[in-house]
Structure 1
Amino acid sequence: MLILGIVTSSAQARIEDRILRVALLPDNHLPYYSAMENRDGIVRELLELIRSRADISFESHYYPRNRLLKKLDTGDLDLIPLTSSHWHEEKQNVYFTRPFAEHCNVLLFRKGQSLPVYHPRDLYGQVVGTVRDYGYQELDDYFRTGLITRINLRNEQQVFDMLVKRRYDVAIAGETQARYLINHYYQDTIETGPTIDCVPVSMMFRAQKEASGKLVDRILQQLMTEGEIQRLLRIWR
């Protein structure tokens, strides 16, 4: 009985090790998190590509962005699927995959009302619509000093809506999200401006899941080589 119990516990541990608890945001962050058009969004589709090549399952857990690191620390999460380079500075004792994509932000304007922006000083005195808790490497110092004022919204769709309603004259959003939203909902009302803050994107695993992280890293590199990640991003533009 004791031997059977040990074997059963060991088998259960192996099963649990193949199930990774992944962080998804509770809000609608199109096109990364979405169930529209009978698809699940970029993140879930990428996880499905990984699952199809490895003996791994992903269990979705929904938390706001500002709670993700704490949930990783407490062991409630195993994986945060999209992290940029500044997360490397915030978080130690975790495993990061090699970059598998690039994230850029773009400035947004109402259609036909773009401003010439070549340097942050061109935005001095402006009120800028941003997503709450997001960092903007090229502009954060100016936000802190008050030379540029940011208004924090819940998600990108709110940023777009408030720009259309003239709450401010310029906003910032992720380029992939911005192009998706413009193509589907805001073609006649919003246009993109300069690109800023391009950073590499990695997945972050808690230290206890480093072995799984290394497996996922190898698969991500294969998907990049085969053009699958680029194809997925193109689909959701």
Structure 2
Amino acid sequence: MRWALGALLGISLSVTAAQTPLRFAVPDSWAMPMVQLERGRPTQGILYDMMLSLATQVGVPAEFHVLPRTRVQSTMEHGGVDVRCFAAQSWLPNQSGDYIWSIPLFFQRDLLISHQDQPARVDTNRLPRQSIGTVLGYTYPTLQNLFDADRLHREDARNQEQVLEKLLARRYRYAVSNQWTLDWFNQRLTPEKQLQGVAILQEQSVGCYVRNDPKVPVQRVLRTLLRMKMSGEIDQIIRLYTGNSEVHH
């Protein structure tokens, strides 16, 4: 009997060891349709669904760590989380540590947006001096020279949805948003109140990167992400929330 108990204990310990969670970074600046945060925990959204599916297919539990955007990279460097998604190498020019990047998984389009009673197309370099809606901690390379020249002023909100709420309330005439959030936000507005993109600021592909650590199933994660992209699963998740699949130009 003692042997049987010992054997069972050994089996349960090895199962527990094999079930080390995959720890995902979730910046607290994310909003729907990327992630819905309720009481500090993600509950739904494109990236939540994708990360949960990824962990399930890899065969490990998913663990979500909600962090201020400014702490995500240092937490990765100190081994506090294993995977960060929706990132681009160009956003992290001074990245230290050993990481492996996935293939591009998403297409990120940043837009200058406004109300329908504003011109449908805008040249950002010709805008008069004013404040525009931005997200705290986000960088906007195509607008930075205008911020530096004191032509445009950032009015930061904690997340992307708050930026759009302020624009809707006409706290400012223009704001920056990604295409996903704009599509999601417009779904609940009547056609005449919907916000519109008036200039494309930046377009780039983004993916995930994984901490290259023997305790992390790096290759399984990368292979699974490749399969999820190639099979159309990721585009299907995007369509579920925005009504649109990825559009590349």
Specify the TM-score bucket, using the shorter chain as the normaliser: 0.7 to 0.9
| Residues 40 and 153 (structure 1), Cα distance of their counterparts in 2 relative to 1, 3 Å cut | same
Aligned 8 A contact 1:129 1:150 in 2: yes
How far is the alpha carbon of 1:96 from its aligned partner? 1.7
* SS of match in other structure, 1:102: strand
Aligned 8 A contact 1:103 1:174 in 2: yes
- 1:227 maps to which residue? 232
Which residue identity is paired with 2:22? L
How far is the alpha carbon of 1:13 from its aligned partner? 8.2
Aligned 8 A contact 2:29 2:160 in 1: no
* SS of match in other structure, 1:53: helix
- The one of 100, 104, 125 aligned to 1:99: 104
- 1:129 maps to which residue? 133
1:114 aligns with 2:114: no
- 1:21 maps to which residue? 23
* SS of match in other structure, 2:86: strand
* SS of match in other structure, 2:76: helix
Aligned 8 A contact 2:160 2:181 in 1: yes
Aligned-partner Cα distance in 1 for 2:175–2:87: 22
How far is the alpha carbon of 1:115 from its aligned partner? 5.6
Aligned 8 A contact 1:102 1:199 in 2: yes
1:141 aligns with 2:145: yes
Q: Deviation string for 1:159-191 (max 9, x for gaps)? A: 112212222111001111111111124744322
How far is the alpha carbon of 1:28 from its aligned partner? 6.2
Give matches, 1:71-90, under 5 Å: 71-90=75-94
| Residues 71 and 35 (structure 1), Cα distance of their counterparts in 2 relative to 1, 3 Å cut | closer
* SS of match in other structure, 1:178: helix
Aligned-partner Cα distance in 2 for 1:174–1:148: 19
Which sits farther off after the overlay, 139-148 or 99-108? Answer: 139-148
Q: Deviation string for 1:29-58 (max 9, x for gaps)? A: 01111279xx71111211232234222221
Runs of 4+, deviation exceeding 3 Å = 10-14, 25-28, 185-188
* SS of match in other structure, 2:217: helix
Give the number of equivalent residue pairs: 228
Give matches, 1:5-16, under 5 Å: 11=14, 14-15=17-18
- The one of 185, 189, 194 aligned to 2:199: 194
- The one of 45, 50, 53 aligned to 1:46: 50
Q: Deviation string for 1:68-96 (max 9, x for gaps)? A: 11111222211112212323413132222
TM-score of the two chains, using structure 1 as the length reference = 0.84
Aligned 8 A contact 1:224 1:230 in 2: yes
1:68 aligns with 2:85: no
| Residues 107 and 186 (structure 1), Cα distance of their counterparts in 2 relative to 1, 3 Å cut | farther
Bigger proportion of residues as helix: 1
Q: Deviation string for 1:6-26 (max 9, x for gaps)? A: x79x9378436x411111234
Aligned-partner Cα distance in 2 for 1:209–1:58: 18
Aligned-partner Cα distance in 2 for 1:98–1:192: 28
Aligned 8 A contact 2:136 2:159 in 1: yes
1:158 aligns with 2:156: no
Q: Deviation string for 1:184-236 (max 9, x for gaps)? A: 24744322222221111111222326962332222122122111111111111
TM-score of the two chains, using structure 2 as the length reference = 0.80
